Structure 1
Amino acid sequence: MVTLNRYLLAGLITLAILGVVFGAVLLLDDWRVSGINKDLEDLSIQSESNRVLFFYNQVFDPAENPRFCELANSSATLRSNQGDLLFAKLENYEGASFFGSYRILRQKYLLNRIELWLFTTLQNKTCGSNFVPVLFFYESTVDCPECLVQGNILEELRNQCPNVKIFALSVDEEIDLVPLIQSQFNVSTVPSLVVDNQFVFESLTTKEEILRNIKCEEVIAKRIVV
């Protein structure tokens, strides 16, 4: 009887520990999902601001107020940088998640990025901005080693050329706009790139190949004078 009680006690303790661990994992997933939602809300506010700027552009001539292009460019840059950070966070959290659902979050993020791509394209036309949009079509739900390599190459390019804006578009998300954009540029494979809305690369593309087709505004390191 004593031995049986010991086994029973050990089993109860094990179940209690598993329950605590399970609860902690659920809380961590909920905290991560809440954080992503908060970041998406911040991006949505910036998106609304960009829409207002677009309507402002329809009512008033931007040439009459240089402040318009300055504000629009800084807004697009800030939104792009925050979106890049959010994408990395989303990828890391989803990869480490046990129970959290990130499908809706990915779709919200993707729609926000597509809208920003369109906004930066308008900025180039309206203000003569120097943004270089790069659409990156990839697959996220299947094994695609070349997609991972291409993503790393684009990360290097973005760090070297701040005016290059990367828009990663997952082709396996249930977003109708993605196949529409693919058909616009006759893209049918992954990984594929559309650089500056005109140069299409339907295979793994090196950084050097991309640089030959764009104007890169490289980061200039500041010299410290002692």
Structure 2
Amino acid sequence: MSLVTRNVLLALLITVAIIWTIAYAIHYLNNARITELSAIEDQLSIDTLSLDTQFSLLEAAPCDIAASSTTLISTLADLGTRLSYAENQLGTNNAQVLRLKQQYSLLEIRDYLITKQLAAACGTKPVTVLYFYSNAGDCADCDKAGYALSYLHDTYPMLRVYSFDYNLDLGALKTFITIHKVDATLPAFVINGKKSYGFASLTDLEKQFPNGALAGATSTKP
């Protein structure tokens, strides 16, 4: 065997080995990714059932307990964080993500309705924000608005923020949007019943809240 032939065969073997290594790595990573995403979906399903049970418990709880409970707020927020992670991993148009987002949106609507019922029955004054965004590439300020609301929620734990994908194919959400007469000018906010559109800055967003409303939501600022 000539030196040239041997070098060619050696180069071919090295190339095959590299291709096989890459293929194996991709296969391994894909399997790991599928396993991880399946675990996320399973956990989201458990969290969804847990939230649904908490709703039922709060509906039957005395006013002083139901009105002061922050467990449901934090659990709903944690579920939203998990959903965002799944969305980032799978993409906004993935069938699993859309199904989970539908479940989450229904839970948010139910929590909002229970909050209003408690306010009427127990005389509480919750601070609520309905936030409507879009993942269709037609909302340049939606990401900034989402970050601002996350900051406000972290700063004021009793603030109830409900985030909805305006274009999500869900009958209950479409009815919810119609009832609140929210236009497709996004981002859109309904803060304690008052609508506003667009996002400029965190300071401007804070000005949309009624006087003293955020202070009443219990600040974590020192």
The unaligned stretches of length 5 or more in structure 1 are none
**1:192 paired to 2:188:** yes
Query: How far apart, CA to CA, are the structure 1 residues paired with 2:57 and 2:29?
Result: 42
Cα–Cα, structure 1 residues 124 and 170, in superposed 2: closer, same or farther, change >3 Å?
Answer: same
SS of 2:161's equivalent in the other structure is: strand
Q: Runs in 1 of length 4+ with deviation above 6 angstroms?
A: none
* TM-score using structure 1 length: 0.77
Equivalent residues, number: 211
Structure 1 residues 48-57 or 112-121, which shifts more? 48-57
Query: How far apart, CA to CA, are the structure 1 residues paired with 2:57 and 2:96?
Result: 34
Query: How far apart, CA to CA, are the structure 1 residues paired with 2:15 and 2:28?
Result: 20
Q: Contact 2:133/2:166 (CA < 8 Å) preserved in 1?
A: yes
> Which residue, 168, 181, 187 being the options, matches 2:176?
181
**1:108 paired to 2:103:** yes
Q: Contact 1:136/1:168 (CA < 8 Å) preserved in 2?
A: yes
SS of 2:207's equivalent in the other structure is: helix
Report the aligned-residue RMSD: 3.0
> Which residue, 32, 35, 39 being the options, matches 1:35?
39
Superposed, 1:1-226 pairs within 5 Å as 1-53=5-57, 56=60, 62=62, 66-67=64-65, 69=66, 73-94=69-90, 102-188=97-183, 189-196=185-192, 198-204=193-199, 206-212=204-210, 215-216=213-214, 217-220=217-220
Q: Contact 1:29/1:100 (CA < 8 Å) preserved in 2?
A: no
Identity of aligned residues (%): 18
Deviation (angstroms), 1:221: 5.2
Cα–Cα, structure 1 residues 107 and 46, in superposed 2: closer, same or farther, change >3 Å?
Answer: same
Structure 1 residues 199-208 or 212-221, which shifts more? 212-221
Q: Contact 1:73/1:129 (CA < 8 Å) preserved in 2?
A: no
